[in-house]
Every structure is written in structure tokens, then in C-alpha cells.
């Protein structure tokens, strides 16, 4: 099991932008990075509506696109869902699963394992599986027990990861927008335990590549704290990815 061949910077635009603004931002990133030599991999996760247009018009060797979620089901009578088949047709390379906002606002816990199973067994799309604890859990010293439980649930329907690339995003929910600081030491400890969990859980059936990225309110004042940390494969960036100037600094200097 190898680390990712490149450090990866993932932009999660969430539902912060309307259609027109999403296309404009994608166009700006494309112009900024399409023909530029960079060492890091860039992944952009727009909203579903703009994703189809972005995938079609802004293909780049430096920038990959993905979805913020996926249906646990194959094609069928599932009103409002987005199918894996559609993402494959668009050429999406990544999909975000189990983000803390999905868990909190949309009661997504029970479906995460089904989504992970759907993506891993039925496509070559790379899942970005989010895990992390809230503040009360952190204060109670339950960080790893919560993260471990989330990993067990996410991979509960998977026995074999051979030939796959898997990304785990550790996003301590308590750090998002709170002003609270996550120490690089704490991040290294959690990332190390995640790697150990995958190694033990899939012994003999390990993924080809495993990336463990950090995603707790990453901004211009914090991203460099993790740039020299060998336990961090990349970053999951929220608000700072909405401004080309800010996001460019992170990409160029991480």
C-alpha cells in the first residue's frame, strides 16, 4: 500500500455558489492552472447542477472534478438522487462521501456504507471518505473511538480494496469555523491510526494507494502547518477554495 503519488488539494464548494458563479470560478481556475507546471493534484467538487457543464468544458491535465455526494442505489425510482452511472458518464474522478454536513443535516449515517460499496464495487471513481469528531466528543477524549466507528461503518460492506485508490479525509468538526486550533501532532496521531486501521482491516487486500488528507477549516493562516507533515497527503479546503487568489496560494505552496 503506497501513499498518493502526488499531494492532493481538494476544493469543496458546497452550496456556496450559484450556477453562474460556479462556472466563472471553474473558468478562472482552468486559466490559472491548465498549462502551468504544478506538483500537487487539484480536485474541484462543485454542486451537481454546474458539475455537468464544468466536466464538459473545463477538461485539464492538472484539474480533476468530482461530486459532493452520490446515491447508494443504482438507476431506479429514487427521486432527487444522483446516480453513479451519471457521474461515470461525465468522467468524474472523485466523489465525497460522509461529509460532516451530510451527517449532521441530512441523516446520512446509515447510507454511507451503501454509498462506499456502490462506488468501490461499481466504478473506478476515487472515494473521499470523511470522518471526524465534534467538540463534546473531543473533550471527552473520544476522538479515535468516534473516527474508528465511522471507518468501521463506512467499510462494513467492503472486504477487498486491491487495485483501488482510497482517500480518507479527517475533518474534526469542532475546528470548522470555530477559531479553535488543531495541533499538527494531534492530526498526525489520528492520521497514523487511520492508516493502521486500513492496514489491519484489509490485510492481504490492501488498496494500491491510500491518501489521508486534513480538512478542518483550512485557510491561508493554517495550511502551511501541514505542508511538511508526512502524515498528511493533502487538504480538503472549503471557504478558501472560493477565491482563486487564496486557493492558488495553497496549491502553489503546500
Report the predicted TM-score, pTM, of the whole model to 2 decimal places: 0.96
CA angle 252, 9, 13 (to 5 degrees): 115
Span 169-194, mean pLDDT? 89
CA angle 118, 215, 59 (to 5 degrees): 60
Which residues, in sequence order, are bridge partners of residue 45? 12
81 with 138: CB under 8 angstroms? no
Residue-wise pLDDT tens digits, 182-240? 888 999 999 999 999 999 999 999 999 999 999 988 888 888 888 888 899 999 999 99
Fold of 2-253: TIM Barrel (3.20.20)
Span 89-109, mean pLDDT? 92
**What's the Cα-to-Cα distance from 242 to each of 14, 61, 175, rounded to whole Å?**
10, 21, 19
Positions marked catalytic: 99, 171
Q: How far apart are CA 204 and CA 183, in angstroms?
A: 33
Provide the mean pLDDT of the chain.
Answer: 93
* Sign of the dihedral through C-alpha 186, 148, 102, 42: positive
- Give kind and range of the element (H or E) at residue 50: helix 48-57
Residue ranges per domain, the chain? Answer: 2-253
Distance of CA 204 to the CA centre of its chain: 25
**What's the Cα-to-Cα distance from 95 to each of 11, 35, 99, 160, 198, rounded to whole Å?**
12, 25, 11, 19, 19
Q: How far apart are CA 29 and CA 50, in angstroms?
A: 15
Amino acid at each position: 500500500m503506497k501513499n498518493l503519488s502526488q499531494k492532493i488539494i481538494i476544493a469543496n464548494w458546497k452550496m456556496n455558489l450559484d450556477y453562474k458563479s460556479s462556472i466563472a470560478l471553474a473558468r478562472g481556475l482552468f486559466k490559472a492552472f491548465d498549462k502551468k507546471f504544478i506538483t500537487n493534484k487539484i480536485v474541484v467538487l462543485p454542486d451537481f447542477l454546474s458539475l455537468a457543464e464544468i466536466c464538459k468544458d473545463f477538461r485539464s491535465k492538472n484539474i480533476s472534478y468530482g461530486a459532493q455526494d452520490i446515491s447508494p442505489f443504482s438507476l431506479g425510482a429514487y427521486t432527487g438522487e444522483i446516480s453513479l452511472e451519471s457521474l461515470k458518464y461525465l468522467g468524474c474522478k472523485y466523489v465525497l462521501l460522509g461529509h460532516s454536513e451530510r451527517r449532521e443535516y441530512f441523516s446520512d449515517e446509515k447510507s454511507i456504507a451503501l454509498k462506499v460499496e456502490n462506488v468501490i464495487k461499481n466504478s473506478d471513481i476515487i472515494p473521499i471518505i470523511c470522518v471526524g469528531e465534534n467538540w463534546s466528543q473531543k473533550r471527552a477524549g473520544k476522538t479515535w473511538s468516534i473516527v474508528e466507528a465511522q471507518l468501521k461503518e463506512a467499510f462494513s460492506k467492503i472486504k477487498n480494496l486491491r487495485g483501488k485508490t482510497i482517500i480518507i479525509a479527517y475533518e474534526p468538526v469542532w475546528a470548522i469555523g470555530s477559531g479553535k486550533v488543531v495541533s499538527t501532532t494531534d492530526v498526525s496521531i489520528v492520521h497514523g491510526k487511520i492508516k493502521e486501521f486500513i492496514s489491519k482491516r484489509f490485510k492481504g487486500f490492501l488498496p494500491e494507494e491510500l491518501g489521508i488528507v486534513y480538512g478542518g477549516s483550512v485557510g491561508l493562516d493554517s495550511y502551511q502547518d501541514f505542508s511538511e507533515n508526512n502524515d498528511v497527503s493533502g487538504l480538503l479546503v472549503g471557504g478558501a477554495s472560493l477565491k482563486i487568489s487564496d486557493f492558488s496560494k495553497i496549491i502553489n505552496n503546500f
